[in-house]
Amino acid sequence: MHIAETLDQLPDMDDLLSRSGLEFMQDMVAGRLPGPPIGATMGFWPISAEDGCVIFEGTPEFSVTNPMRGLHGGWYGAILDSCMACAVMTKVPRGSVYTTLEYKVNITRAIPLGPYGPRHGEDPACGSVHRRGLG
């Protein structure tokens, strides 16, 4: 996956509006469009995008630890917000965009530092759309 390093490298509104959300996400996963720098900052990225489902993996490193030597809860929130929002994006029709209004995270177990995701024997961070609202 190619990560944007400047604002000019990020996809513009023409890139967004000329594709369905699914096409947009698949082009990002495939490297045809650059991904956002938050992925490089936080150490995670999408590895799969299908209709209603996007899977992320990542490598939480020392830079995202808290003072108690654990993985900061913000890392959990960021990866889960990203996979949830990207799953919603796969349902957005061509010519439209969306925004996240609210989300909640319950942390049920710790994630250790180091590689995380399905290619490393871990459960993936998977966002999925069960029912799409219209509005």
pLDDT tens-digit readout, 105-118:
888 877 778 776 65
Output DSSP code: residue 35.
Answer: B
Residue 13 tokens, joined: 């509104």
- Cα(82)–Cα(44) distance, rounded to whole angstroms? 9
Q: What is the mean pLDDT of residues 38-52?
A: 92
Ordered by where they begin, the domains of the chain are: 7-128 (3.10.129.10)
pLDDT at residue 36 tops 90: yes
**Quick count: other Cβ atoms within 10 Å of Cβ 112?**
10
In the chain, DSSP finds a helix count (H) and a strand count (E) of 4, 3
Q: Each residue of 55-108: pLDDT tens digit? A: 998 888 889 988 988 889 899 899 989 999 999 999 999 999 988 878 888 888
